[in-house]
Amino acid sequence: MYNKKAQLSVETMIIYGLVILFSLSVLGLLIYFGVLDLGSYLPDSCNIGGTGDLKCEEQKLSKTSDKFELGIRNTGQRPLKSLKVSVTDAASTHFTTLGPIVGTVGGTAISDLNPLSPGDVAVISVSAGGDVKPGKVLRGTLKTAYEYKDGVITQEASGTIRVKATD
Amino acid sequence: MLKNKSQLSVEYLILTGFIIGIISVVLVVFLKVFASGSAQDAINAQKINDLGDDIVKKAKQVFYLGLYSKQNVEYDIPDNVEFMFILELTKSTGEKFYYFGIHAKDKEIKKHYFLSDVPIASDGTLVDVDEDDLSSLIPECSTATCKFYNFKGNLINPGKKVFKIETRLYGAEPKVAIVPSTY
C-alpha cells in the first residue's frame, strides 16, 4: 500500500517536472526564433543616460503620419542653443538611422536666438522613411548632441529607446 | 519502514533540485536586468553629474565670497573615470570659457563637461596634477587655444576624495583654484 503511494507521488512529480520543462523549452524556442516577442508587452520607454541636462519624456512612432517623434525636456540649469538627436534602429525593423534631427521649441528650431530654456520640452520630429510596421517594436539607441547657450563645447549623451509603432 | 525513508529522500531530492532550478533562473534574470553594467553605468553617471555640478557651483560661491576665501569639499569618485580636468578655452576673439571636464569609460567613452561661470584653474606643480595638453580629446580645441589642468593618479581613483576650492590670484587675475586638499 505504502509502496504504491510512494511510486505514484514520485511519478506525479516527475511528470509535473517534465511538463514544466517542456513548456519552458517551447516558450524559450518561440522567443528565440522571434515568434513571441515579450518585449512588445512592455511599456514604451526612452532614456538619455549620462547627463543631468536632458530627459526624454515622450516618444511616438506612427504609420499614419509616418513620423518619429520625441519630447526631450531640458532638466539642467542652463538654456541650450542647439540640440540634435540621432536614432538607430538596432534590428532595422522600421529604418536604419534617422538624423541628426534638429530639436524645435515653439515650432522653431532651437538656436542662439530661440534657446531651449530650463524646464522646457524640445520636440524632435522627423519623417520615419515610409516603412513603419504597426505593432512592431523599435528598439534602438539615441545619440544627442547639445550646446549650452553660453558655452562652446558640444556635449554628447547617448541612451536607449523602446517604442511600439502605432497605426 | 526503509522504503518509506527512501521515498522521502527521493522526493526531497527532487523538490530541492526543482527549487534550486527556479531560484537560479530568477537570479539570472534579476542579475541580467538590475545588476548589469547598465545599472552600474547609471550610478556612475549620476556620481559624475553630482560631482561636476557641485564643483562649479561651489567655485562660483567661493569666487564671489572674495579673494582667499576657501572651502573643502568631498566627492565620491566613481570607478570609471579616465580623465578629470579643468579646461580654459580661449577663442580667437580672446573670449575665455572655463569647463570642469570628466571623461568616463563605460562601454564607450562618455564625456561630461560642466561650464563654470567663474574662472577656474588648478596648480600643475602639485603631485597628481599636471598641465599636459589634452586638446586631441576635444574637437573645439582645434580652433581655439586650450589650457588644461589634469587631475590624475590617486585623485581619479575610486573612493572619497577631498578638494580645496580657493580664490587665488593668478598673475593679476583672481581665479578659483581647485586643488587636492592636502596642499
> What residue ranges do the domains of chain A occupy?
2-36, 41-164
B138 belongs to a structural domain: yes
CB atoms near residue B63 (< 10 Å): 21
Fold of A41-164: Immunoglobulin-like (2.60.40)
B17 belongs to a structural domain: no
B93 belongs to a structural domain: yes
Q: What is the mean pLDDT of chain B?
A: 88
Distance CA A33, CA A163 (A): 21
CB atoms near residue B153 (< 10 Å): 12
| Interface mutation vs chain A, best among B113, B137, B141, B146, most A CBs within 10 Å | B113
Instruction: Tell me if residue A68 falls in helix, strand or coil.
Output: strand
B11 belongs to a structural domain: no
Residues of chain A in contact with residue B104, where contact means CB-CB under 8 angstroms, are 50
Cα distance from A157 to chain B (closest Cα, Å)? 7
How open is the CA angle A164-A83-A141, to the nearest 5 degrees? 35
Max Cα-Cα span within chain A: 91
B33 belongs to a structural domain: no
Nearest CA in chain B to A11: B11
Ramachandran area for residue B64 (φ above 0: left; ψ -120 to 50: alpha; else beta): alpha
pLDDT of residue A159: 86
Number of domains present in the structure of chain B: 1
Q: What is the mean pLDDT of residues B151-163?
A: 91
Distance CA A81, CA A109 (A): 10
Cα distance from B127 to chain A (closest Cα, Å)? 28
Residues of chain A in contact with residue B54, where contact means CB-CB under 8 angstroms, are none
Q: Which residues span the domain enclosing B150?
A: 42-180
Contact B90, B66 (CB under 8 A): no
Residues 46-85 of A with CB under 8 A from B: 49-52, 78
Cα distance from A63 to chain B (closest Cα, Å)? 31
Model confidence, pTM = 0.77
Element (H, E) at A137: strand A137-148
- B145 pLDDT above the threshold of 90: yes
B100 belongs to a structural domain: yes
Contact B117, B50 (CB under 8 A): no
For chain A, 167 residues long, the average pLDDT of each consecutive 10-residue run is 75 89 92 80 83 88 92 91 93 89 92 93 90 88 91 88 89
Distance CA B174, CA B120 (A): 9
Instruction: Please report the ipTM that was assigned to this predicted complex.
Output: 0.71
Whole-number CA gyration radius for chain B:
26
When CB atoms are compared, the residue of A13, A52, A151 closest to B97 is A151
Cα distance from A31 to chain B (closest Cα, Å)? 15
Residues of chain A in contact with residue B97, where contact means CB-CB under 8 angstroms, are 151-153
Distance CA A152, CA B99 (A): 10
Amino acid at position B171, single letter: G
Q: What is the mean pLDDT of residues B121-147?
A: 91
B15 belongs to a structural domain: no
